Amino acid sequence: MGFLSAILGAPKIVDTVADTVKGGMNMLDNAFYTDQEKAATAGRVMETWLEIQKATATENSIRSITRRVIAWLVMGLFLLLVLSACVIWKFDPAWAVYIRDAIIETKLMYLAMIIGFFYFGSYGIGTLIKK
């Protein structure tokens, strides 16, 4: 740095140039998202998600019990409608189509998938981790 400061005449300019070059190198390094960085990020996301699941699984407040009851009711209603549509299809296809359309229009299918993943998926992942 002493040689460059003698040429350029001011140490502040040399420091600024060095900082700019260093910043440019960091920008170049951050421009590429490698597979190792993706795997590390995915690992951190999964660890955070599992910590959230552990915290909510051990919770036994009135609110958490109510959430579980609502989750069971929504899943039960969805499965009841799907199974009833399957059974009714044999006897009256128009009613089965009506039930299917009701499930689709009310977006009950998406709600059931979200609740199933959030409440019941954590149990499945927990059993896989314990193995």
Residue 90 lies in a domain: yes
Residue 117 lies in a domain: yes
Tell me the pLDDT tens digit for each residue of 54-82: 776 666 677 777 888 888 898 899 899 99
Lookup result for tokens 């995915």 = 42
Residue 80 lies in a domain: yes
Tell me the pLDDT tens digit for each residue of 29-50: 566 667 887 888 888 888 888 8
Domains identified in the chain, total number: 1
Token pair belonging to 5: 């400061």
HEC letters along the chain: CHHHHHHHCCHHHHHHHHHHHHHHHHHHHHCCCCHHHHHHHHHHHHHHHHHHHHHHHCCCCHHHHHHHHHHHHHHHHHHHHHHHHHHHHHHCHHHHHHHHHHHHHCCHHHHHHHHHHHHHHHHHHHHHHHC
Tell me the pLDDT tens digit for each residue of 119-131: 777 767 777 777 6
Is pLDDT larger for residue 54 or for residue 24?
54
Residue 7 lies in a domain: no
Residue 35 lies in a domain: no
User: What local confidence, expressed as pLDDT, does residue 125 receive?
Assistant: 72
Answer yes or no: is pLDDT of 4 > 60. Answer: no
Measured between alpha carbons, how far is 81 from 97 in angstroms, rounded to an integer?
Answer: 11
User: The whole model's pTM is what?
Assistant: 0.46
Mean pLDDT of 80-104: 91
Residue 25 lies in a domain: no
Determine contact, residues 125/53, Cβ cutoff 8 Å. Answer: yes
Q: Which residues have CB under 8 Å from 13's CB, separation 6+? A: 5
Lookup result for tokens 């089965």 = 96
Domain that residue 78 falls in: 49-130
Measured between alpha carbons, how far is 54 from 45 in angstroms, rounded to an integer?
Answer: 14
Residue 39 lies in a domain: no
